[in-house]
Copies of this chain bind each other. A is one copy, B any other.
Amino acid sequence: MSETTIPARILMGPGPSNVHARVYQALTSPTLGHMDPVYFKLMDETQVLLREVFQTKNALTLALPVTGMGAMETCLVNLVEPGDEVLVCVGGVFSGRMPEIAERYGAKVTKLTIPWGQPAQPAQIAEALKKQPAKLVALVHGETSTGVMQTGLPEIARICHDHGALLLVDTVASLGGTVFKADAWDIDAVYTGSQKCLSVPPGISPVTFGKRAEEKLAKRKTKVASWYMDLTLIRKYWNEERVYHHTGPVNMTYALLEGLKLIREEGLDARVARHAKAAKALHAGLEAMGLELFVKNPADRLPTLTTVLIPAGADDVKVRKTLLEQHSLEIGGGLGDLKGKGWRVGLMGEGAKPNHVLVFLSALGGILKAQGASGVKPGAGVEAAAAVLNG
């Protein structure tokens, strides 16, 4: 078998994002047994730092041995019993997967359809719950298929609780890159992935359950349908009982812990501000270049992932291929409604930095010019971004 060289990429897609050298180093610390007291100590440290990044005191806070989609399913399978009414706000590909998963586990799902490019309005959720009460409301905080950030979460949580519903929030693309406060906003259950704003390789996924979610677990009439994802078993491995359930993904846990240490060192506020500034520069640059952002209302734009419309005269696949092959730079193609119409540009974790913004705008401008895309002013993009970054 010939040797395949793995190139160093500038990762500006919807995730994974670039990984810090210290995280790579942690990843190759010697593998410990999953019941080793030193590994238990590292699990404890991971929980402490996960609570900081989720902004919570929740006891049930841990990292699941699955990727982000597995974390979505874990939350749904633990919070849903057959016959339960569930309301899902669907405005993109990822929120669109929630009904599919919940239904497989017997939920009666009502979809609140949100136009792509917009967040759900709290009033819509209130109305939907009035029409059809639900035990659980599920939505995505940062939808990577559209680049929309769901605003108004504290109000939405209040509405859910007033109607006796729990609120489950997907923060796969947002946690660690935007403001998110599980406790202050009173969110009942939250999950994320490792490979986006936490800048850790994919394969391990943090989750936190608050008191109401724990109560729901305790009062279930049926067993959690999945054994592997059963949080009543998984938490006994993470808490002081240390009951073996699965073999912890030891080296991935090292990497996650190191990524969380980097976040603590930077400070959550500083990190969020860094993402905001990089996104502002990117947006200014794209617009100055003559391109159109898909999300119209600036307040609804997810700083960690930007969707930009493909200009007339540009060849979607060719542009992305050239970025990858000539600049070793990855962006995402459009998903769902945006397939062939938009690009998805990530600024996540280690990647939310001036160098990424500038090199992307410079490269994209050059490629679009070469393709003769209409109305594109390559130089103006970099200039406008630099002005924001230096401002």
* Interface residues of A, Cβ cutoff 8 Å to B: 1, 4-9, 11, 13, 15-16, 18-19, 24-25, 27-38, 41-42, 45, 48-49, 65-70, 72-73, 77, 97, 100-101, 104-105, 193, 195, 201-204, 223-228, 244-252, 254, 261, 264, 324, 330, 332, 335
Contacts and interface: CB of A to CB of B under 8 A. Distances in A.
Nearest to A196: B247
Contacts of A224: 104
B69 A250 contact: no
24 contacts: A1-B48, A4-B41, A6-B30, A7-B32, A9-B30, A9-B33, A11-B33, A13-B35, A15-B247, A27-B28, A33-B330, A36-B324, A37-B324, A70-B228, A97-B227, A104-B227, A105-B225, A193-B247, A195-B250, A201-B252, A202-B247, A202-B251, A203-B204, A225-B226
Nearest to A248: B202
A291 B117 CA distance: 69
Contacts of A101: 227-228
Task: Please classify the interface of chain A as helix (H, G, I), strand (E, B), loop, or mixed, using the class held by over half of its residues.
Answer: loop
B45 A31 contact: no
Contacts of A244: 335
Given A4-B41, A69-B227, 15 more contacts: A5-B38, A16-B250, A27-B28, A35-B332, A36-B324, A65-B70, A65-B203, A67-B248, A69-B228, A105-B225, A201-B252, A202-B247, A202-B249, A203-B204, A226-B226
A246 B69 contact: yes
Contacts of A1: 45, 48-49, 261, 264
Contact of A73 (B18, B31, B105, B226): B226
B251 A201 contact: yes
A66 B224 CA distance: 18
A321 B65 CA distance: 27
